[in-house]
Amino acid sequence: MCGLSVFESFFFTRLISGESFSKEDEDVDVARERARIHKGGSEKDLLRICDLSKVYSGKKIPAVDRVCVGVPAAECFGLLGINGAGKTTTFKMLTGDISISGGEAFLNGYSIRTEMRDVHQNMGYCPQFDALNDLLTGREHLEFYARLRGVPEKEVPMVAEWGIQKLGLVKYSNKSAGTYSGGNKRKLSTAMALIGCPPVVFLDEPTTGMDPKARRFLWDCILSVIKEGRSVILTSHSMEECEALCTRMAIMVNGQFKCLGSIQHLKSRFGEGYTVIVRVGGSPPALGPVEEFVHESFPGSILKEKHHNTLQYQLPHSEGALASIFSHFTTHQQRLGVEDYSVSQTTLDQVTRLNPSFNCCAG
């Protein structure tokens, strides 16, 4: 249960009345998760957030508006949203950087209101901006954090070496952090968050400034941490990153969750079905018969692009299962002179672009 007092609940409701969400407008999946939290269904989750809220002094609109979610072990939960959506503010409340205005959260059973010392011992945190000392080497950073974690002194070098190897910093471990590239600074910050194997790890835009190769490397590292049974909560601007890492995710707008669920669930619920790209052979290519075939076989199809020998269609879910689409094209491929074709589901990036309500942000 949340543990909100009647007085606090009444006071906080008055504080932000008229500007926060109404339950009637709340997304069904977000409401279902809220009900699960309120009814005690998340007691075993490593992270439980119940009506967590933040109203900054002098502001009428809350920066974070009664967020509810539970994150179990071995899950990566993503917070996706543009700048100002409330992602970093949520992290700062959970890590004790700023006070909370209302609600409660428990990390591995410890309250962020009354047991922050225990909370800190059970969490790792990679902040949005690197908190590094330019004069210390990467190895010295990790040894320092290992000692703060309570690692026995004789094991400190071994634990620091683990972080160096884990994040691919072997070549740079004995160089001062001030000489690191932006990508290597993010790697070091992530390694510091993982030192001591905390059960819950917060990563605030961990791949900012990284090239594609380094980003993929860090993704593999994060996935290995999840497989170890730890909970990872990350914020990101990147739909691709959330697709690669997250078991579940929420899109945050103006301090509220606008949707919540697995990547596949969000694609199925908010996407526009399938994208079909057909490449036709011949010189010149006979596109007419292919267009006629698609129109007759899939009446709800929409021709999105047409150039030279390529046609791109959008097929809604109502046009049938994926297997049926493949079956139709395979059966008639040779007759129509189709060289090749592809069928793909709507991407997460397309989902956010197709739903304007996912992209607004408070000023």
Each residue's pLDDT tens digit, 300-357? 898 989 998 999 998 887 766 788 889 999 999 999 999 999 998 777 776 766 665 6
Residues 233, 216: Cα–Cα separation, whole Å: 18
Q: Are 256 and 85 in contact (CB under 8 A)?
A: no
- Residue 11's pLDDT band (cuts 50, 70, 90): very low
Tell me which amino acid residue 333 is.
Answer: Q
Question: What does DSSP say about strands 47-54 and 200-204: parallel, antiparallel, or unpaired?
Answer: unpaired
- Give the single-character DSSP code of 170: G
Residues 6, 258: Cα–Cα separation, whole Å: 27
Q: Reduced to 3 states, what is the DSSP secondary structure of residue 26?
A: coil
What pLDDT sits at residue 359?
62
Q: What is the DSSP secondary-structure string of 99-142? A: --SEEEEEETTEETTT-HHHHHHTEEEE-SS----TTSBHHHHH
Length of the chain, in residues: 363
What are 159's two structure tokens?
A: 């634990």
Q: Are 76 and 226 in contact (CB under 8 A)?
A: yes
Q: Are 318 and 298 in contact (CB under 8 A)?
A: no
Q: Are 101 and 52 in contact (CB under 8 A)?
A: no
- pLDDT tens digits, 91-135: 999 999 999 999 999 999 999 999 999 999 999 999 988 999 999
C-beta neighbour count of 210 within 10 angstroms: 20
- Mean pLDDT value across residues 68-92: 93
Which domains, from first to last, does the chain contain? 73-101+110-268 (3.40.50.300), 272-345 (3.30.70.1150)
- Mean pLDDT value across residues 168-190: 95
What pLDDT sits at residue 270?
80
Residue 136 burial by CB count (10 A; 0-12/13-18/19+): exposed, middle or buried? middle
Average pLDDT in the chain: 88
Residues 91, 83: Cα–Cα separation, whole Å: 14
Residues 18, 250: Cα–Cα separation, whole Å: 24
Instruction: State residue 231 phi and psi, 5-degree precision.
Output: -95, 135
- pLDDT tens digits, 226-254: 999 999 999 988 888 988 999 999 999 99
Instruction: Sheet with 338-345: list strands edge to edge.
Output: 302-307, 310-315, 274-280, 338-345
Global pTM value: 0.79
